[in-house]
Structure 1
Amino acid sequence: MSDPGFEYAPIGLVELENRVIRRCNLHFASMFGGQESEYRDMPLLRLYPSHEDFERIGKRGLQVMRETGYYTDERIMRRRDGDLFWCRARGKSLTPDDPFRHGIWSFADISEERRVVELTPREREVALLTCRGLSAKEVGVELGLSYRTIEAHRARLLQKFGARKLPELVAKLSGMPL
């Protein structure tokens, strides 16, 4: 049975079971490349830049969803042709006792708001926590690293994004106008 509200929504929608795509809408298929039918029963892992990103984001998302039943973030995803892009993901669990068992997720391409810069998984973690307003010491505690190591990661991020100071970096990471 067809659901036109789902099928023609102006945002990418997927129904997931245990992080496997059961169905997606036209916008999702267009955003990631290909036809809707090509995504049926596809592990979501295939659309992440790396297995490490899939595991790390999944672990963080599962923890939040166990508490709230809902999760949202901005992350880099991979299209089927291999191109990386910034994506806003939002998910709602339909099975709160087992959040990843069944849920509805939306995906929006936000790459026009921010450019993709090749980052290591650790640099992405530091960047995301920095955007949340955490100090180098707080980021270090969160990631189990020294604050000096965090400062070194931040210095590389400043260089990669062409930012002079931390607020400018955060603005660039957030896609805000400078």
Structure 2
Amino acid sequence: MGIMIANCAASMPCRLFYLRLLFLFLVFRPVSVEAKTPFSFYADHRAPAWTVVVCLAGLTLVVVALFRNINRRKKVERELVLARETLEVKVREQAEEINRRLDASRKEIEALLDNSPVAIIYTDTRRVIRRVNPELARLSGYLPEEMIGRSSRNIFTCQEQFDAFGELAYPIIMEGGMYETEQLFCRKDGTKMLCRVKGRSVVKDDVTRGVIWIIEDITRSREEEREKLLLTQQLEQMQRYKSLNVMAGAVAHHFNNIMMAVPGQFGAHRAAVAGFLQGKKNGGSGPESGSAGRQYFFVHADLRGASSAGQANG
């Protein structure tokens, strides 16, 4: 037991150990030192004395164990506090880094929305507008404050069109697809605009998280297409007219040639007939009489007619 006490005491600071020894000596010093009683007194009271010593030793062990336990607990508490502070610092740093990234992402998204060449609308499940970009405000004529928190019915021409659009679009979006169509919308001043519309849910297959709509005004492009088609049709018609004019000129030229050749042919035939009749009158003498005479006059008449037509063409 004394060895155990010594070992336990050896693990404590020297100052505390010596103070405890002094305390035990002063309290439980031998009675013979003061009362000068014989040694037989200790022999008669050996059992109680050892009981007291054992109790004191046990009490000392308990005190030492409690002290060591308290020291360990305090050490563990200090380590826990240090670990908690370190963890809090790391968590704070990570939270700050996440916040910086979120701020950067939010600024990038806002920059994309603000500078997008097409109008963008974010609506919830009730088709209430939650966010718009400046391009939509420019197209519709409404201020963002006039649209956010209100139904998207305001940009449709009528309630029937609004209901029909929802019946067609949302079944496709709820299945995870993208709805695309051309829709007629109404501006704040009452004028109409034809737009190409594309819509898709923010989270695929979960329309409850909202829907993103992209709207592009195609009114001017459609007008330009109609003007281009009209100009193309006019150009084709002009080309047909030009072809008809060329054809008419060719026909007129050939008809003119024919008409110029007719007087020459008519004169030649008339001269041939006159010669033939003169030959008959002369009694059939000369080359103008008979079948040979008729052939002679007709050949010469054809030659004179061809010569007259050539002069007319020249």
Shorter-chain TM-score range: 0.5 to 0.7
Determine the C-alpha separation between the residues in 2 that align with 1:176 and 1:24: 34
Say if 2:157 is the partner of 1:37: no
| Residue among 54, 69, 73 paired with 2:177 | 69
Higher mean C-alpha displacement, 101-110 vs 21-30: 101-110
Larger helix fraction of residues:
2
Please tell me whether Structure 1 or Structure 2 has the larger radius of gyration of its CA atoms.
2
Does the 8 A contact of 1:22 with 1:40 survive in 2?
yes
The corresponding residue for 2:119 is 12
Determine the C-alpha separation between the residues in 1 that align with 2:174 and 2:228: 31
- 5+ long unaligned stretches in structure 1: 116-170
Deviations 1:4-55 (A, max 9, x none): 1112211101111121111100100000003222211121111111111111
SS of match in other structure, 1:63: helix
Larger strand fraction of residues:
1
Q: Which has the higher contact order (CA 8 A, sep 6+)?
A: 1
Determine the C-alpha separation between the residues in 2 that align with 1:32 and 1:14: 12
The corresponding residue for 1:82 is 190
SS of match in other structure, 1:28: helix
TM-score (normalizing by structure 1): 0.60
Does the 8 A contact of 1:86 with 1:109 survive in 2?
yes
Determine the C-alpha separation between the residues in 1 that align with 2:228 and 2:183: 16
The corresponding residue for 1:121 is none
Does the 8 A contact of 1:7 with 1:24 survive in 2?
no
- The alignment yields a C-alpha RMSD, in angstroms, of 2.4
Which amino acid letter does the alignment assign opposite residue 183 of structure 2?
Answer: R
Q: How many residues align?
A: 121
Residues 37-116 of structure 1 mapped to structure 2, 5 A cutoff: 37-99=145-207, 102-114=210-222
Deviations 1:50-88 (A, max 9, x none): 111111111010122233431111010111111111011
- 5+ long unaligned stretches in structure 2: 1-105, 231-314
Determine the C-alpha separation between the residues in 2 that align with 1:15 and 1:113: 26
Instruction: Identify if the C-alpha distance between structure 1 residues 95 and 109 changes in structure 2 by more than 3 Å, giving closer, same or farther.
Output: same
Which amino acid letter does the alignment assign opposite residue 22 of structure 1?
Answer: R
C-alpha displacement of 1:106: 0.8
